[in-house]
């Protein structure tokens, strides 16, 4: 479990097909360089990588910083934008939440609901107003003043217009996350607030 507060921008340094013995065709292995100290991070621990909860399968230290490796199934590659990652891609990283940690954002599970895209970016003072487009099947869970995780970043929704919604991204978030290098048309991983899903489910049962 995570909070949507990005703690490092990692860099993909290796992309390879498959993984360990038994990996299915279409699976992929990524090696990620990070500023995080990987010594206390256990093999099998979870790290949110641009919003997708992935398992550390190997780690180490080399010239240029610490690194860890993750293996991603073909299913996850198809349902997220992880399939777009290449050597040099920069990704948002967040270590898993520990009991007693501050809940600075909102509860994020690292289970990507769908892939959206950046529609527009407009500078407003020191911040940038982003408009994103969500797939129709998850747009109904997005509400004004609610929370959403975009590439693992906890953000508050300003307004909703059909399948599109706007958020303001302050300068700190632009610097501390990959949104500072975002481009119009770029694909983003979306995870809706779990509370919105539960409310929708309850309303569906109430109508039956």
**Structure confidence by residue, pLDDT tens digits, 158-184:** 999 999 999 999 999 999 999 999 999
Q: How confident is the model over 22-56, as pLDDT tens digits?
A: 555 579 999 999 999 999 999 999 999 999 999 99
189 shares its domain with 127: yes
Our count of domains for the chain comes to: 2
pTM of the model: 0.89
198 shares its domain with 167: yes
21 shares its domain with 54: yes
- Tokens 């997005």 correspond to 142
Distance separating alpha carbons of residues 29 and 36, to the nearest angstrom: 20
Residue 101 lies in a domain: no
90 shares its domain with 121: no
91 shares its domain with 118: no
Q: What is the CATH number of the domain that holds 188?
A: 2.40.30.20
CB atoms within 10 A of CB 197: 13
Residue 107 lies in a domain: no
Residue 164 lies in a domain: yes
């Amino acid at each position: 479990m995570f909070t949507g507060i990005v703690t490092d921008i990692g860099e993909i340094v290796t992309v390879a097909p498959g993984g360990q013995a038994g990996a299915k065709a279409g699976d992929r292995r990524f090696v990620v360089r990070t500023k995080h100290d990987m010594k206390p991070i256990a093999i099998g621990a979870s790290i949110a990588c641009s919003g997708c909860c992935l398992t550390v399968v190997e780690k180490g230290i080399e010239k240029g910083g610490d690194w860890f490796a993750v293996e991603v199934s073909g299913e996850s590659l198809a349902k997220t934008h992880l399939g777009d990652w290449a050597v040099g891609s920069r990704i948002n990283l967040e270590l898993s939440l520990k009991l007693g940690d501050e809940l600075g954002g909102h509860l994020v599970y690292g289970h990507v609901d769908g892939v959206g895209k950046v529609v527009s970016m407009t500078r407003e003072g020191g911040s940038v107003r982003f408009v994103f487009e969500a797939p129709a099947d998850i747009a109904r869970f997005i509400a004004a003043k609610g929370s959403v995780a975009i590439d693992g970043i906890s953000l508050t929704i300003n307004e909703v217009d059909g399948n599109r919604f706007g958020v303001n991204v302050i300068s700190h978030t632009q610097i501390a996350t990959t949104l500072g290098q975002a481009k119009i048309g770029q694909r983003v991983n979306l995870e809706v607030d779990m509370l919105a899903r539960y409310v929708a489910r309850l309303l569906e049962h109430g109508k039956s």
